[in-house]
Structure 1
Amino acid sequence: MRIGVFHFPTDYGIGIAELARALEDRGFESLFVCEHTHIPTSRRSPFPGGGALPKRYAHTHDPFVALSFAAAATRRLLLGTGICLVPQHDPIVTAKSVASLDLLSGGRFLFGIGAGWNAEEMENHGTRFETRFQVMRERVLAMKALWTREEAEFHGRFVDFDPVWCWPKPAQRPHPPILLGGETDHTLRRVVAFCDGWIPRAGRGDFDPQDAMARLRRAAEAAGRDPASLPVTVFRGPTEPAALAAYREAGIARVLLDVPDLDRDAVLRLLDGYVPLLAAAGG
């Protein structure tokens, strides 16, 4: 099992390039960055975590720009979006960003995706909350066409374009892994329908890795997919060695630990405290 981190890259916290170098130097596998394009001031959509919305949500760098800096500062570290809010992105522009980052990083990109929870935020991008999952699906399928075909076209309800040329193509074939976030059975059906992996959140101690793997296995087999081809990345994983061992034994592929939006010195101290967990995870 591999250990990475997730982080909100902000304009006031540790620099993304320094964080990436520190992770690679300490032996972490991956860096996933969170995203919000902006935060509407209305606050009509309640924060899923409860209480006031943390400051970092309104201060994140663009994920593809941030990961480009991280890629340039490292050689082996995997680079992921955790998650990219696909309903808020033009699929042609995003396909080019993904392909460019994957190619320039030497095939190190992992495309974590989701539909989002902030209705006002996605409405500002022209997406209705009620259809966000349908929009996400069509945009992912359209991007797959752009990555894999010399002349790509797509005709759907939300995405529609005639044959186009779009380069570069990603370094990874047929494209970078697409990992879908969420915990519901609906999420699992989407994972097995058009994705390459699953990113459930560990939550507040109620995540059962054995149950999660069993649910994924049932969904994959029902869809005629090999469960082994759909690795599981757990978001906000535990920091106790015994819990990590249970995740490894269940077959979890990757655990992402939280690196908060703190200054350089605080983050580096936190990473040093996480290092012993690498051995506990066996990765």
Structure 2
Amino acid sequence: MEIGISTFVTDEGIGPAALGRAVEERGFASLFVTEHTHIPVKRETEWPGGDELPRHYYRTLDPFVVLSAAAAVTERIRIGTAVALIVQRDPFTLAKEVASLDLVSGGRAVLGVGAGWNREEMRNHGTDPRTRMRVVRERVLALKELWTKDEAEFHGDFVDFDPVFSYPKPVQSPHPPVYIGGGGPTVLDRVVEFGDGWMPVLGRGTDDLPGRIAELRERAGRHVPVSLFGVPPKPEVIAELERAGVDELLLNLPTEPEDASLARLDRLAELI
């Protein structure tokens, strides 16, 4: 089992290049960052994590800018999103961003995707929250067509285009892995149908994690990678999750200035 870092990168915390370098130097396997394009002032959707939305949700940098900066100063760690809100992203632009990131990183990109929880935010992007899971499916399938076909086309209810050229193509073959986020009752259906891995949040649909992982792999007929984020830095929790069959743990790094972040990474590295 590998151990990586997940965090919110904002204008008030450690910078992307310093963060990427520090994560690699301390022996972590990966760096994953999250995103919100904006937070509506009038927010009616309940945040799954509690009553008050933390400050760092309001201030995230664009994840692909962050990951490109981290890629430029690293050589080994995988870099990805946990998660990109695919229902809020144009599939052509996202295909180019991820393929470009895979190219400049030498084949280290991972795309974790999710439907999101903030209904007001997705409505601002023109997405009806009631259809968001169907949108996720079509956009992932469309991405894979754009990455793997010289003349790609896709025809669905939410993504529809005749043959197009889309370059660059990713370095990884057939494409960067797409991890499906979420822990709801139907998430395994989506992972089996169009995902390359599962990326749940600890504590959200993970009560019977060993059972769900076993079910997922049995249904898929293969070893589906599981990358779990939101993991507290506790040795007993890490040991339990390793026994459950998790392939990668993403330890949460709070958003803090550089000195505090580096000190915290030093402490987290002792768990590797």
TM-score, structure 2 length as denominator?
A: 0.96
Three-state SS of the structure 2 residue aligned to 1:40 is: coil
Deviation by residue 1:176-231 (Cα, 9 ceiling, x = unmatched): 11111111221111011100111111128x945xx323223324433xx2241x11
| 1:226 partnered with 2:225 | no
2:203 counterpart letter in structure 1: G
> Which whole-Å CA distance do the structure 1 matches of 2:218 and 2:7 have between them?
33
- Structure 2 gaps, min length 5: none
One-letter code of the match for 1:163? P
Q: What's the secondary structure of 1:56's corresponding residue?
A: helix
Partner letter of residue 213 of structure 2?
Answer: L
Superposed CA offset, 1:49-105 (max 9, x none):
122211111111111111000000111111010100000000011001000100110
Distance between the aligned counterparts of 1:241 and 1:182, measured in 2?
24
> 1:130-180: CA deviations, max 9, x gaps?
001101110111110000001000111001111001111000111111111
Q: Does 1:68 align with 2:68?
A: yes
Identify which of 245, 249, 252 aligns with 1:255. 249
Give 1:77-96 correspondences, 5 Å limit. Answer: 77-96=77-96
Paired residue for 1:133? 133
Q: Equivalents in 1 of 2:48, 2:59: separation in Å?
A: 18
Which residue number corresponds to residue 29 of structure 1?
29
Partner residue in 1 for 2:229: 235
**Contact conserved, 1:10 with 1:60, CA < 8 A, in 2?**
yes
User: Aligned pair 1:151/2:145, yes or no?
Assistant: no
Letter in 1 for 2:103: L
Alignment of 1:97-246 (within 5 A): 97-203=97-203, 207-208=206-207, 211-222=208-219, 225-228=220-223, 230-246=224-240
Aligned residue number for residue 265 of structure 1: 259
Paired residue for 1:281? Answer: none
Q: Greater CA deviation, 3-12 or 43-52?
A: 43-52
Let me know the Cα RMSD of the aligned residues.
1.4
The 3 A distance-change label for structure 1 pair 17 and 254 is: same
Contact 2:198 2:227 in 1 (8 A): yes
Q: Determine the C-alpha separation between the residues in 2 that align with 1:198 and 1:240.
A: 22
In the aligned structure 2, how far is the partner of 1:249 from the partner of 1:219? 16
CA 1:140–1:192 in 2, change beyond 3 Å: closer, same or farther?
A: same
| Aligned-partner Cα distance in 2 for 1:138–1:163 | 16
Give the conservation status (yes or no) of the 8 Å contact 2:17–2:70: yes
SS of the counterpart of 1:236? strand
| Identity rate, percent | 53
Amino acid at match of 1:64: F
- In structure 1, distance between residues paired with 2:237 and 2:84: 28
* 1:234 partner letter: L
Amino acid at match of 1:213: P
The answer (yes or no) to whether the contact 1:217–1:227 under 8 Å persists in 2 is: no
Report the Cα distance in structure 1 between the residues aligned to 2:232 and 2:217, rounded to whole angstroms. Answer: 26
Distance in 1 of aligned mates of 2:146 and 2:206: 36
Instruction: Could you list the structure 1 runs, at least 4 aligned residues long, displaced by more than 6 angstroms after superposition.
Output: none
Aligned counterparts of 1:259 and 1:194: Cα–Cα separation in 2? 30
Q: What letter is aligned with 1:263?
A: P
242-251 vs 71-80, which moves further: 242-251
Equivalent position amino acid for 1:46 in 2: E
